[in-house]
Structure 1
């Protein structure tokens, strides 16, 4: 865990990285995403977290890697998902990790989504606190786990409908990603 200096010119190690360990090769993706989320949220989002969420990764092998489709399936997999990430899930094309290219693409996608999925690799999440950011990723991962199980049992027979998703958004005063709502009835 690192904390960026107030002038943005360096960082301090708060936890981990003992002995000769060095920061992840994906640090540029973290910093670029952090910068975008700070601008977008007026400083509210202070945490960028990246992890290798097994079930989210698994879904990248069986679902079309399309942001609206992934978003809609996760919303349908667990009622709280629409409330926790109404802005949906961004998905990048596969890229080599640790490159400037994937860092820039992640940051650009973070302009629209607080969750960004790297197919076959992992997920980035952004939020105001460690707890909220972990909760964001964990909520998506729990829904992905449900979907993995449902798909292994032959697929969905019924799910949360578009109208029910809209009602859920109204009840919790969140605006769902319209393109994901409009994907199908």
Structure 2
């Protein structure tokens, strides 16, 4: 047995590789964090190293005090996670004040958690509260088609939500609450962490203009599926635009309501026109 035989580490590695295979993680682009369950921490604890010094963060969250997170490393490449996970991902422990972390496993050749850990941390704290602890995954990827849409659509929650809902029938079922949009900000900054976390109080996913997307969920499959669904809908919309043919039919607002009723989801009416 090794730490790589635990289901949580295997799932984390698989998600990193799946994202790379989609083409969402050029060079060291993107990052992934997972808030571990108590049983998962116990399974991994025999492989923890001697605990080092605490590193102070620029953000804090009392409801994450004492938690453990699996995180990709800053400057590490998603394509290398499946080859050498011990050098490209890590497990960090949060202190009792919820404002510092220390690495307890991984990054054996040196390094720190993702440079966007503050954004992840702030998203985890609001999603934990908003979902009564259900949300455990925060995933950031450079989704090509979504990024392209941020150059041609108004950067509003309503425009992006309605456009994506009308681009693929599955969308109102997968994200009935809509999607948020953050205008361009410096990645990794406290400012973008705060802006994203404000939207994450309401949404499961948030788009970063000209950069990519953040998605959240209770496990790897659901979170990856959310990201994948949104990106595919954006790709479909772009394909329609590139066809140079006029749109002669679409999924209407009433169609969206019918979908929501059939699948038993609460559609956010604020994003519909009539």
Aligned to 1:180: 271
The answer to whether residue 248 in structure 2 is matched with residue 157 in structure 1 is yes
Q: In the TM superposition, what whole-angstrom CA distance separates every residue of 1:75-116 from its partner, at most 9, and x where no partner exists?
A: 111000000000111001111111001001111100111010
What is the Cα deviation at residue 68 of structure 1? 0.6
- Between 171-180 and 31-40, the greater mean CA deviation after superposition: 171-180
1:35 aligns to 2:125 (yes or no): yes
Runs of 5+ unmatched residues, structure 2: 1-31, 39-63, 72-84, 90-106
User: After TM superposition, where is structure 1 displaced by more than 4 Å over at least 4 residues in a row?
Assistant: 1-7, 9-15
| Secondary structure class of the residue paired with 1:175 | coil
Tell me the matched-pair count. 183
Quick one: which of 94, 98, 108 aligns to 2:188?
A: 98
Output the aligned Cα RMSD: 1.9
Scaled by the length of structure 1, what TM-score is found? 0.91
Q: Does 1:147 align with 2:237?
A: yes
Distance across 2 between alignment mates of 1:84 and 1:12: 26
Gap runs ≥5 in structure 1: none
Alignment TM-score, normalising by the size of structure 2:
0.63
1:135 and 2:225 matched = yes
Structure possessing the higher radius of gyration over alpha carbons: 2
* Equivalence for 2:204: 114
Segment of structure 1 superposing worse, 151-160 or 141-150: 151-160
Of stretches 4-13 and 33-42 in structure 1, the one that deviates more from structure 2 is 4-13
Of 116-125 and 151-160, more deviation after overlay is shown by: 151-160
Paired residues of 1:2 and 1:11 also in contact (CA < 8 A): no
More RCO (CA 8 Å, sep 6+): 1
